Amino acid sequence: MSARAIATGTISFGLVSIPVKLYTAASSEQVRFNMLHRKCGGRLKMQYYCPVDDEVVERADMVKGYEYARGQYVRFEEDELKALEAEKSNSIEIVEFVPLDRFDFVQVERSYYLGPDKGGDKAYRLLAEAMKAEGRVAVGRWAARGKEQLVVIRPYRDGLLFHQLYYSDDVRAFDEIDTGATFQFSEVEQDLARKLIEQLSSSELDLEKYHDSFRERVARAVEQKVAGEEITVAPEAPRAHVIDLFEALKQSLAKEGTPVRPPPKKAEPKEEVAEGRERARRGRKRSAS
């Protein structure tokens, strides 16, 4: 069964227009639960409560407000918000092409597959192949859901992938993150780390071998409960706590039978070496006299 497009649009740059279709690239299949009344098992409904008037508020009596200062709001009616929305358009306007390695994936909010719409096959394929050959991605704008979205189009397999991005002020600066102290690693430690990476390396990424184990456990538990069976959970095996980095790397490699060289002995400080030589010289001098 072929995928169903969720929207149509037109990629435009210069005098070129390419009709395209948008398809959902991924959707979360995570486990979701509903809240039930413990007493009767009925599903609960969400309600909005006003603590000032001590009453449940119906949707017809609600209005949107923006908090411009602590506890102070300005109100917006629906028609006022509609007037602020971006002009509805199905055009994806390419503003510039940038090198692929300049595209930071941390800004990706959502991803969609792009396919050609009627009459756009040739131009669609030409754009995909040209960007792949040049190692570039297209940065542009897309008016969707009343807002102007920042987007990137990039070559993907035999076609195009469409990323909706966060704006730069939506993304926290990595400089704010504490990355810990800096260290000078010995050659042995670096060698062990490289060997461990080499052992765990694969030539290709096969995502089919990864599964959501929590979702699978919940599915089995649901089947057991529906069948009236008692749920049994195996105790988790205790994990060994290895604090020393060298020991941790050595133990990881030992599982695969990789030989490990012992770390070099710590060199004595120059002052201690010089002092030892001086003591030895004085001792030889006393023996000679």
Q: What is the CATH number of the domain that holds 150?
A: 2.40.290.10
pLDDT at residue number 281: 63
pLDDT at residue number 64: 94
Specify if 16 maps to a domain.
yes
User: Would you say 34 and 128 are in contact if contact means Cβ atoms under 8 Å apart?
Assistant: no
Specify if 209 maps to a domain.
no
Task: For 67-85, write each residue's pLDDT tens digit.
Answer: 999 999 999 999 998 888 8
Specify if 189 maps to a domain.
no
Show the domain range for 150. Answer: 7-26+85-170
Per the structure, the count of domains in the chain is 1
Low-confidence ranges of the chain (pLDDT < 50): 267-270
pLDDT at residue number 150: 92
pLDDT at residue number 256: 60
Specify if 46 maps to a domain.
no
- Taking CA atoms, 76 is separated from 47, 139, 275, 283, 287, in Å, by 21, 33, 82, 94, 100
Specify if 158 maps to a domain.
yes
pLDDT at residue number 113: 94
Chain-centre distance of CA 110, in angstroms? 11
pLDDT at residue number 28: 76
pLDDT at residue number 245: 67
Specify if 107 maps to a domain.
yes
Beta strand pairing status for 147-156 and 72-76?
Answer: unpaired
User: Would you say 123 and 18 are in contact if contact means Cβ atoms under 8 Å apart?
Assistant: yes
Specify if 211 maps to a domain.
no
pLDDT at residue number 273: 52
